């Protein structure tokens, strides 16, 4: 233990005053057997501490979470079901009917921000522009793909399989290790991973 609960609380308050990250978990770990006592003190401090205005970076991040995804917004505006869009997109791209499910899955990953738009072929963007209008044009500077959920609150190093690979195995086990087909190439997807 590095100090009493009161000393560790003082350290936290000092960080709060300086606008530094509070690193509460680190302080709780350092409290050792007095962890619960420190946790109660931290809770009491944070309940009473004056609220601060969020930083511009924090506001920008929160706004990105609030904004609807452009492809999703465009599809909803055109009142198209995902299956209907996949069928129309497959037809426009000249793909066989058997490719619809893969088109649907890859398009949905693109729509939800789980697929990097930079890897998607120009022909896909052109077909989407016809089907969904101007909002479906290829982004000028592709943002990084969005995470599929909230930040993980565990240590990923504990897994023997990388997390993305594990998710891939759960989502489509029959595809792992197969050769990429035309649909995969159009969407810039490797079947052994998520994208």
- Residues 35-43 have a mean pLDDT of 93
Give the model confidence (pLDDT) of 43-86 as tens digits: 999 999 888 787 787 777 777 665 667 888 889 889 999 999 99
What are the extents of the domains in the chain?
A: 5-48, 62-187
Distances (CA, A) of 99 to 105, 116, 138: 10, 20, 22
pLDDT at position 2: 62
Q: How far apart are CA 137 and CA 127, in angstroms?
A: 9
User: What is the reported pTM?
Assistant: 0.50
Radius of gyration from C-alpha coordinates of the chain: 23
Q: Is the pLDDT of residue 172 over 70?
A: no
Please report which confidence band the pLDDT of residue 192 belongs to, taking 50, 70 and 90 as the band edges: low
> Residues 12-27, buried b or exposed e (16+ Cβ, 10 A)?
beeebeeeeeeebeeb
Distances (CA, A) of 36 to 29, 40, 169: 10, 6, 39
Query: Are 138 and 116 spatial neighbours (Cβ–Cβ below 8 Å)?
Result: no
Q: Is the pLDDT of residue 3 over 50?
A: yes
């Amino acid at each position: 233990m590095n100090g009493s609960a009161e000393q560790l609380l003082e350290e936290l308050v000092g960080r709060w005053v300086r606008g530094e990250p509070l690193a509460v978990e680190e302080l709780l770990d350092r409290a050792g057997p007095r962890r619960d006592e420190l946790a109660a003190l931290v809770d009491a401090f944070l309940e009473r501490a004056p609220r601060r205005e969020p930083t511009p970076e924090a506001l920008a991040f929160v706004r990105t979470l609030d904004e609807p995804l452009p492809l999703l917004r465009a599809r909803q505006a055109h009142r198209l079901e995902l299956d209907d869009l996949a069928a129309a997109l497959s037809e426009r791209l000249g793909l066989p009917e058997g490719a619809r499910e893969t088109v649907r899955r890859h398009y949905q990953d693109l729509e939800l921000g789980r697929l990097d738009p930079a890897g998607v072929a120009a022909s896909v963007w052109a077909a989407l522009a016809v089907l969904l209008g101007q909002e479906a044009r290829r982004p000028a500077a592709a943002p990084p793909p969005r995470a599929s959920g909230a930040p993980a609150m565990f240590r990923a190093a504990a897994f023997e399989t990388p997390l993305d690979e594990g998710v891939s195995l759960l989502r489509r086990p029959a595809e792992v290790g197969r050769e990429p087909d035309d649909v995969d190439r159009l969407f810039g997807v490797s079947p052994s991973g998520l994208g």
